[in-house]
Amino acid sequence: MRSLFALVGVCIVFARLSVPGAALQVQPQTDGVRLTNSSRFQEGYIQFSQICASPTPTGEMVIRWVTNVPTTSKVQYGTTASYGKETLEDPRLVERHKVVLSGLEENRLYHFRVCGSTGLGYPRLCSSDCTFFTLPPPSPALINGGFDEHGMDSTRKLYPWVLYTTGDETIGYNPIDGIVGPCSTSCTAWFGGIKAFDGLYFLGAAANWGCKNGGVFQRVLWPPGERCVFSVRYVAFNRGGIPWDTKVRVGIDPEGGIDPNSPSIKWWTGFPQTNDARWLLASVSAVAGNRGVITVFIDVRQRWELEWHVVAVDHATLTSPMPISIGELKSSLGDFGVVLEDKLVTFVSAEPIIVSLDGSYYKAYVLEPNRTAGIAVLFNAASAQIPQTGDKVTVIGSVVNHNLEAHVAAVDWVISASDAPLPGPLAISTKDVGGVDTAVQPSLFQSSGLSNVGMRVRVFGQVVWVDSSLPWWNATAIIDDGAGIVNQLPARATIPKGLRIKLPGSSYGVQVGDYVIATGVLSVEFVDPKPPPYSGDEYFAYTVLVASPDDWQPVPR
């Protein structure tokens, strides 16, 4: 195999290491061989761990592993489990080993095992069988996006996905589990209650008091200069840390490189939001480079050796952006790039928000001109062109879930000023906020009607709580129109029942017991009431974002 791509500090494994593809592995793998004749290591074990393979720019494969005691280094390898070839034994006694294999055939499955001895007079010992694929050629389209297709040898494999492992954010190279299953929607759940999004199999990484870092990539032919959107469904779960300690990233390298550390990769990061088995959307967009090959990445990053890190990924797709209405988008799976044409901007955040580690964004809301549906849009705060309320905008982007709300992550947009007034709001009762659950927009609780998150609404109720500790421009109240909704996920007994509304100026003009009419955009907010962050009191809530003090008013009793 000849390759033009270099890897720096990355360990690539092209298949599961010494375990079946469906095994549920939660600890770093070790292969132990008992020593009985060694006076130095009497009654001990030589343990072969962190075994992995990574390609070089010239087509060799670098095999790395760790032993618990100093040993020599040797690799046996071949296209069958009988091997047939082996490297010269490196006599140096080390614990961290590196051997280079050359003369490999392209796009082939190889078996190998690592071997070593503790010195003169002691037998050479070997690990169990491991495998790797040499780099496959680019696919004409994304293949095996559901992780349910059969591999080259009619056994369930990741092929043509390439499994890689990185040493980032933890000590050592601990590969992810790879394919997990069979586990359909009716099977006994995997860790954290996770079942396949569709089909029987998914990509998984679970660690108990450990870390697994890495993922898979696939090279795909794509017309130069054409935009593509890579989307996945993911579940992320952890216990013992904060949400960002467990991350799943999706990326596109427009130049077709295979180094997950390359600065040319465009990334989007997802992380645990509800710490349950809820499947969420992550996607990213890029324009293919001149080579006509792109590489898509699914990347798992687990920080610290927590009690549990769990990530599952399924339903990967690679598409071109397509024009669609907001209503059609919300009723779809959202697994494609979108073009929203001539939508009306109804709200823009006063300041940027931080979205994971991918940068700062202005959060805006756009509405269909006929008022049938609305959705949040993220505009990169580094851009000089941010739309304002009342503008019309055409957006190209990809669909993501952030804080349990559907967003279009904009990558290109065109703004056209509009002097037309905002359309009249949709009057709704508090029990009808949210609407039914969709594959794109999760519901905090089930209510009637279509999804109305993102729409401009008018609500009425009695003020049951006011947070006067916030600045006047961001003050929050809870109103109740008699429905007594529990507007939190998870429900908090200490939070009054009712609907959250942001009322600019409310700390100077509204009190508990007042009746209020408010007009704004219905959103989903992540609320972390008291420091320190992520101390267990957080919740998600429907919140009406009121843009101006003119959009709310007390009603005389």
The residues spanned by each domain of the chain are 1-135, 136-320, 322-416, 426-555
CA distance 267 to 461: 43
Do 448 and 432 form a contact (C-beta atoms < 8 A)?
yes
Percent of the chain residues past pLDDT 90, beyond the cut: 51
Percent of the chain residues past pLDDT 70, beyond the cut: 85
Threshold 0.85, pTM exceeds: no
b/e per residue 342-373 (b: at least 16 CB within 10 A): ebbbbbbbeebeebbebeebbbbbbbbeeeeb
Do 55 and 259 form a contact (C-beta atoms < 8 A)?
no
Q: Is the pLDDT of residue 30 over 50?
A: no
First CA to last CA across the chain, in angstroms?
A: 80
Cα 463 to chain centroid distance, Å, stands at 38
Q: In sequence order, what DSSP letters do the residues of 84-151 get, joined into one string?
A: -EEPPPEEEEEEEEEEEE-SPPTT-EEEEEEEE-SSTTS--EE---EEEEPPPPPBSS---TTS-SB-
Backbone angles phi, psi at 294, to 5 degrees: -120, 160
What is the pLDDT, as a whole number, of residue 26? 26
CA distance 156 to 360: 41
241-245 average pLDDT score: 87
Going by pLDDT thresholds of 50, 70 and 90, the confidence category of residue 23 is very low
Q: In sequence order, what DSSP letters do the residues of 192-251 get, joined into one string?
A: GG---SSSS-EEEEEESSB---EEEEEEEE--TT-EEEEEEEEEEEEESS-GGGEEEEEE
CA distances, 478 to each of 36, 171, 350, 474 (Å): 72, 47, 21, 13
User: How confident is the model over 372-386, as pLDDT tens digits?
Assistant: 999 999 999 999 899
Domain 136-320 has CATH 2.60.120.260: yes
Q: Is the pLDDT of residue 16 over 50?
A: no
User: How confident is the model over 459-497, as pLDDT tens digits?
Assistant: 999 999 988 666 555 678 999 999 999 998 888 888 899
Q: Is the pLDDT of residue 341 over 50?
A: yes
124-144 average pLDDT score: 88
Homologous superfamily of the 322-416 domain (CATH): Nucleic acid-binding proteins (2.40.50.140)
Q: Is the pLDDT of residue 297 over 60?
A: yes
Cite the DSSP H helix spans in 216-336. 326-330
**How high is the mean pLDDT of the chain?**
84
What is the pLDDT, as a whole number, of residue 357? 67
268-285 average pLDDT score: 90
Window from 394-408, 443-457, 460-474 with minimum mean pLDDT: 460-474
Homologous superfamily of the 426-555 domain (CATH): Nucleic acid-binding proteins (2.40.50.140)
Q: Which of 508, 483, 520 is nearest to 498 (CA)?
A: 483
Going by pLDDT thresholds of 50, 70 and 90, the confidence category of residue 213 is confident
What is the pLDDT, as a whole number, of residue 414? 95
Cα 258 to chain centroid distance, Å, stands at 19
Domains 322-416 and 426-555 belong to one CATH topology: yes
Q: Choose the most confident range, by mean pLDDT, from 140-154, 268-282, 346-360.
A: 268-282
Count CB neighbours of 19 within 10 A. Answer: 15
**Tokens 């792109």, located at residue:** 294
169-181 average pLDDT score: 74
Extended beta strands in 349-444, E state:
353-354, 360-367, 374-380, 392-402, 405-416, 426-427
181-195 average pLDDT score: 80
341-365 average pLDDT score: 89
What is the pLDDT, as a whole number, of residue 296? 97
What is the pLDDT, as a whole number, of residue 267? 95
| 3 state SS of 430 | helix
Cα 131 to chain centroid distance, Å, stands at 27
The tokens describing 87, both together, are 């490297």
What is the pLDDT, as a whole number, of residue 517? 93
User: How confident is the model over 517-547, as pLDDT tens digits?
Assistant: 999 999 999 988 887 888 888 899 999 999 8
Q: What angle do CA 484, 490, 494 make, to 5 degrees?
A: 60
User: How confident is the model over 38-86, as pLDDT tens digits?
Assistant: 334 333 478 898 888 877 656 688 898 999 899 999 999 999 999 999 9
Class of domain 1-135 (CATH, top level):
mainly beta
Q: Is the pLDDT of residue 21 over 90?
A: no
Neighbour order of strands in the sheet with 308-319: 178-180, 202-207, 308-319, 227-239, 280-287
Going by pLDDT thresholds of 50, 70 and 90, the confidence category of residue 1 is very low
Q: Which of 427, 372, 402 is nearest to 544 (CA)?
A: 427
Please enumerate in sequence order all residues whose Cβ is within 8 A of that of 146, keeping only pairs 6 or more positions apart, or say none.
Answer: 198, 199, 201, 314, 315, 316
User: How confident is the model over 257-266, as pLDDT tens digits?
Assistant: 888 888 999 9
What is the pLDDT, as a whole number, of residue 290? 95
What is the pLDDT, as a whole number, of residue 57? 56
Q: In sequence order, what DSSP letters do the residues of 485-542 get, joined into one string?
A: ----BS--TTSPSSEEEE-TTGGGT--TT-EEEEEEEEEEEEE--SSSTTSS--EEEE
What is the pLDDT, as a whole number, of residue 171? 55
CA distances, 208 to each of 11, 271, 441 (Å): 21, 18, 31
